[in-house]
Amino acid sequence: MKKSIFTLALALVALVASAQIKKPELMVIPSDVWCISNGYYTEIENLGTTVKVPNYKQALQENMGLKLAIAKLNDLMAERQFPLQSLEQTIKNLEQRRMEDNLTMSKAGNELAESPLDEVARTAKCDIILELSWEVKDFGPKHSLSYILEARDAYTAKSIGAASGTGAPSLSADVDVLLEEAIVANMDNFNNRLLDHFTEMQTIGREISLDIKVFANNAAGIDLESEYGDDELLDIINNWLQVNTVQGRFSMPYASENIANFTQVRIPVYDERGRAIDANGFAKGLAKYLKKEPYNIPSKVLVKGLGRAVIILGEK
């Protein structure tokens, strides 16, 4: 009897602990391939090359199949207790923020150098992006859906894992029904990869990159070799990163008197208030540190998505 009670108590403890595990926030988006194949893209000129950029807003407004597919995948992930961000609502928030940013950015005549996906991810501040592609094939009166679902770290765009498959022919022609029939068999293994990635990230930190640059002929008259006591400015920045990264993890593949590139910078997933930290917030922490005595260095922080930030030293 005592053994049974003890076993039951252990099971309850394990159940409570499992419920308390924080899961990554997800967002489902159509893949670039799906958007371009279906005509939902904008062409832009980039250094003489025409680039096709996905137009998520147009796709959501014009393709009911996309809305059904995203809704179904959201339902499947919600059943597994993953917190979700809405692509459609995020785009609305982004448009509002763009109107506000345009008023600010127009003073300098500059725009943020971000892709549509960077902007969406930064606005939603999700952890993982799920890119969905699918194609429906007809077999007489029956239909079958083939899909590819790839998970990417929203901060680095690195692939975490993928699932793909083809559902058995069905009399239903609804995308959401066909998608569920095709994808459900692979969901558990796919979800485990997401959890493994997020668990590892909470142990060794979230990966970002950080660039430090110097304004030419800046009013502060400094560069990365400027000395403060016995240390050059680059050493001071390195020391700050050593203290504020997780386990002191970062690399510096290149540095000169005017530029320093830091990669594989591991930052905490959450701050002391439980809020997600991104590259912009982390960079602002360093900028504030350098602005104080004894350095008094003004700087400008530029946003380059969730996972990359640039600090330009010497002027605001």
Domain boundaries in the chain?
A: 21-202, 205-313
Task: Provide φ and ψ at 176, rounded to 5°.
Answer: -65, -40
pTM for the model: 0.83
pLDDT at residue 4 is higher than 70: no
pLDDT at residue 10 in the model: 39
pLDDT at residue 7 in the model: 44
pLDDT at residue 185 in the model: 83
Q: Is 301 left (phi over 0), alpha (psi -120 to 50) or beta?
A: beta
CA quadruple 209, 278, 267, 296: dihedral sign: positive
Question: Residue 106: pLDDT band by 50, 70, 90 thresholds?
Answer: very low
**For the segment 244-271, what is each residue's pLDDT rounded down to a tens digit?**
999 999 999 999 999 999 999 999 999 8
pLDDT at residue 17 is higher than 70: no
pLDDT at residue 219 in the model: 86
pLDDT at residue 49 in the model: 86
**For the segment 187-229, what is each residue's pLDDT rounded down to a tens digit?**
989 999 999 999 999 999 999 999 999 999 988 899 999 999 9
Q: Which of 33, 7, 3 is nearest to 164 (CA)?
A: 33
Average of per-residue pLDDT values in the chain: 88
Q: Are 179 and 166 in contact (CB under 8 A)?
A: no
**For the segment 286-314, what is each residue's pLDDT rounded down to a tens digit?**
999 999 999 999 999 998 889 999 999 99
Q: Are 65 and 172 in contact (CB under 8 A)?
A: no
Q: In what order do the strands lie in the sheet with 206-214?
A: 251-255, 259-267, 206-214, 308-313, 299-303
Q: Which of 165, 158, 242 is nearest to 208 (CA)?
A: 158
CATH code of the region 205-313: 3.30.1360
Compute how many other C-beta atoms are within 10 angstroms of the C-beta atom of residue 275: 10
Mean pLDDT of all residues in 88-95 = 91
Compute how many other C-beta atoms are within 10 angstroms of the C-beta atom of residue 304: 21
Q: Are 185 and 165 in contact (CB under 8 A)?
A: yes
79: helix, strand or coil:
helix
pLDDT at residue 8 in the model: 43
State what percent of residues in the chain have pLDDT above 90: 70
Sorted by sequence, the CB contacts under 8 Å of residue 47 that are 6+ apart come out as none
Angle at 66 between CA 23 and CA 135, to 5 degrees: 100
Higher-pLDDT residue of 186 and 301 is 301
